[in-house]
Structures are given as structure tokens and as C-alpha cells.
Amino acid sequence: MTLTAERPTGIGVASDLFKRVGFEPTPEQSAILASNKRFNLVAGGEQSGKSRCAAAYLLGHVFDPEETGLYWLVGADYAETEREFHYLVDDFQALGLLRHATKRVDPGQILLADGTRIVTKSAKDNRRLAREAPDGIIGCEASQLDVSTFERMRGRVAPKEAWLFLSGTFERTQMPWYTALWKAWQSGADDRQSWSLPSWTNFHLYPGGKEDPEILKLERESSDEFFMERIAGIPVTPKGIVFGEFRPDLHIRDVAYEKGEPVYLWVDPGGSGATTGASAYAVEAVQIIDDRPQVFDEIYEQGLVTQDIITIIQSRPWAKDIRYGVADVYAYQHHGQSPIAEQWQAPPPDGLGLYMASNRIKIPDGIERLKTFLKVNPLTNEPGILFSPRARGILSEFGAAPYPFGSGETRPYSWKVDRDGNIVGKVPEDAYCDGVKAVWYGLFEKYGAARKASGTIKVKQW
């Protein structure tokens, strides 16, 4: 960059620059702004100054000579970018570098004297996130973004090895992937770091810090969960999630169909044609690449019967490479009609001509089998299975996306728990689990049991 203002030393804490725009960072904000990681996630308490911190982070980077001058502010909608946008307008105006800024943010653009652009993006139109690659992205109120938007942002920073800065307050009822990333990035490994920015660190509002009378009052009058997440910026793990080891940053990749490679269909009919909110007809489309299963696509529907699902699959570009299928034993039972397995095996156009293997698998064994593939190899830091962000149904069962048939709430596959959060029983609730069951059917058929299973399981080796 060749801006006329004096370039600060480094791209972290630019204390002289901040003084010139009237910003006095707190010690906690200074530590975040000094980060040399490419990926940073800030969980801020209410009124902690997280938006100001995010804007200051971008401000410091604009003076980096290795960055070419395009930055994004991304929100769940344009309104979520407004605070960061106006902070930056004021900062560049104070520095005498502002050439033009739109009055509105839907969309908005800041244009600097040397041609640098800062533009707003709305996640409601994901297509806008697929254009030219930026030098850096601020995720504004990022806890309200869905995992698909996170994946797109991560993909857009790849071409230039650019940075991604996520800032938001934990939303327990919305996007659990944000909590999962915060936990995964706590170690600071692999160029990723997560931070908590408690409300009481904003000494401009709470001069007494954590012992400020207003903070103490909030702690007394709020639930522990609310205070931890909304004030302290520390996530409270939902009680009883079965696959708590699922990590969006490791298990979700933009894996795509590879033409010519065999396609496996792993199926759970979910009580075929089910219309209840707890069940779906799940078909996970999988390819085995370098001996690692990759769930690259998914059909996850309610209210549709097997013939409807087959029709959908026949329209997919990967249908011609389908070679193997596996389903729940339910598929071979009669329910007033021909068994589901026979419908799959029927020749086209009514079916796919696909034989459906099936094994009777007890739930604890299925859970254990899938957990072994979610496990991360300590040498490669790679998991044994990958999921595309397009597989929204199964991702919701892992707690990494909202339930597809709800109104944005999360409904992960969970254990039964008592009011104190203790697990009750030996099997989870039989709900919101059709995708994960389909996957463990497939893993059993392809790889066998993870350990000595609780019963005799016949495994057909392909």
C-alpha cells in the first residue's frame, strides 16, 4: 500500500495510528490486535467493544504493503455490518484518506485515496461471496452466520492466503459451529486462535472491571449460562450431544464429486415418508478417496417416499457412478407395500438397479464406529471422514448447522439427560439421527466393526 498516512510498524497493535483516530484499545483488545495468526475468532460479551476491535484490526491491515486493497465486511444481513462500516468511515476520515463512502450499507463501499476498497456482503446472497478474492474478511456478528457461509469465507481467503477475523457473541440457540470453532482454536495451533472478550474488559463502560457494580448485578440476576456466554464470552456446551468431538474446522471441507470414482449411497429411510420433525429420509452420497470416506452430497427430506428420493438421485450428475448401497434393516421389512430395498433394486426408470446391503447394528456399536472415523490422527491432524457443507442434514445432527426443517434452531443427536445434565440410559434419544445412522451403516458395511460388537455382525467386504 502507498497511503499518505504514516504506516504503523507491523500489522498488529498500531498504537500511534489508533491514537490518531481516537481509539484507545483495552489491554485485552491490544492482545487480539497484536495477533499474528491468519484466522482469529473473538467471542465478545455484550458491549465489550468487539465491533470496534474488529474495525481496528482491519484498519491496521490496510497499511500492510503486501495486501493489494480489497476487504470484505460479511454479516448475516447487511445490517450486521453497519457498526464496523461506520467505525472505519470515521477512522479513514480522521486520517484524511477517505475518498468516498456510501451512506447505506446494503450494499456499502468505502473507497480510499489509493483505490483500496472495503465492501459489505450479506450471507443471504451467498453468490456474492464467490467473486474476486479479498485480502481479508471481517465476519460481523459471526455467531449468526451459518456454517455454509463460514466455509465460503474460508474458501475466498485461500487464493491470496488472506486473513479471516470472526467476531460475535455466542448464540446458544443459533449456530453451534461458532462454539465448536472457539474450542478448536483455543490452542492457537495451525495459524488459528480464538479469544474471549468479556464485557467487563471495556473499562470505558465498566471502570471497575469484573468487580464493577453493574457486572456484579448482572451476575446475580442472570442464569449461569447467560452470564458465561453473553457477558464472559465463554461457551456453555449443550448437554448431552452424542458427537461432541465433531469439529467444523476439521471435518467440514468443500469436498466435491470426482467423476469416475465409485459412489456409495448410505441410506436411512427414517420411517419412509416421515413428516415428523424428528425424522427424515437421509441419503448420504459418499466416495472413498485415499481410503477416506467423503460425504460430498446428500438428500435429506421429509414427506417424500422412496420413489421420490430415487427420482431426485437420478437427476444428480453423480448418479451414473453409483456402485454400492447400504441401508437400515428396516428397508427389507414389509409395511403394506414392497420393501424399500426392492424399490431401490428395481431397474430404471422406477429404481436404480442397486442392491442394498444391510446389517443389524446396535446403536452403541454404530456410535463407536462413527466416532473412530471422527477421531483425528495425531500425526497428520486429519480426521478419518470428511463432510461437505452441502450435507446440511447430517451437519445439523452433529450440531454444526441449524435443523433443515426448523426455523433456525439447533437439534443435534443427543443423549437423554436429567435436569442436572447427567446422561440417562444407554442409548440416545431416537430423534435427529437419520444421517448419522446412514453413515454408520455404511462404515460397518465397508470397514466392519470398530471393536468387538455387542452381537454377531456379518460384514460383506466390497
Backbone angles phi, psi at 234, to 5 degrees: -125, 125
Give the pLDDT confidence score for residue 159 in this predicted structure. 92
Sorting pLDDT into bands at 50, 70 and 90, what band is 126?
low
- Per residue in 113-125, pLDDT tens? 999 999 999 998 7
Q: What are 72's strand-pairing partners?
A: 119, 137
Q: Looking at per-residue confidence, does 190 or 264 come out higher? A: 264
3-state secondary structure of 384: coil
Domains of the chain as residue ranges with CATH: 15-231 (3.40.50.300), 249-447 (3.30.420.280)
pLDDT tier, 9 (very low <50, low <70, confident <90, very high otherwise)? very low
Residues 6+ apart with CB under 8 A from 348: 314
User: Does 274 score more than 60 pLDDT?
Assistant: no
> What DSSP element (H or E) covers 395?
helix 392-398
Size of the chain, expressed as the number of residues it contains: 462
**216 has pLDDT over 90:** yes
Q: Inform me whether the pLDDT recorded for 15 exceeds 80.
A: no
| pLDDT digit string, tens, across residues 300-332 | 999 999 999 999 999 999 999 999 999 998 888
pTM: 0.67
Q: Pick from 157, 177, 183, 178: which is nearest to 167 by CA?
A: 178
Q: Which residues lie closer than 8 Å to 125 by C-beta, 6 or more apart?
A: none
Q: Which residues contact 315 (CB under 8 A, 6 or more apart)?
A: none
Q: In this structure, how many other beta carbons lie within 10 angstroms of the beta carbon of residue 352? A: 20
At 462, the pLDDT band (50, 70, 90 cuts) reads very low
E strand residue ranges, 135-269: 136-140, 163-168, 192-197, 263-268
pLDDT digits (tens, 9 = 90+) for 167-215: 999 876 456 678 878 887 887 878 999 999 999 999 989 999 999 999 9
Least confident interval from 63-77, 199-213, 268-282:
268-282
Long-range contacts at 411-420 (CB < 8 A, ≥ 24 apart) = 411/277, 412/176, 412/238, 412/241, 412/242, 412/243, 413/241, 413/242, 413/243, 414/238, 414/239, 414/240, 414/241, 414/242, 415/240, 415/241, 415/242, 416/240, 417/239, 417/240
Q: Which of 260, 266, 322, 312 is nearest to 293 (CA)?
A: 266
The band of 72, judged by pLDDT with boundaries at 50, 70 and 90, is: very high
- Record the cell numbers describing residue 223, joined without a space: 442464569
- Centroid of chain to Cα 160: 22
Among the listed residues 163, 216, 218, the one whose alpha carbon sits nearest the alpha carbon of residue 32: 163
User: Residue 426 has what pLDDT?
Assistant: 87
**Spatial contact of 296 and 285, defined as CB atoms under 8 Å apart:** yes
In 290-411 the beta strands, taken as DSSP E runs, fall at 292-301, 322-327, 356-357, 376-377, 382-383, 386-387
Rounded to an integer, what distance in angstroms lies between the CA atom of residue 418 and that of residue 460?
Answer: 40
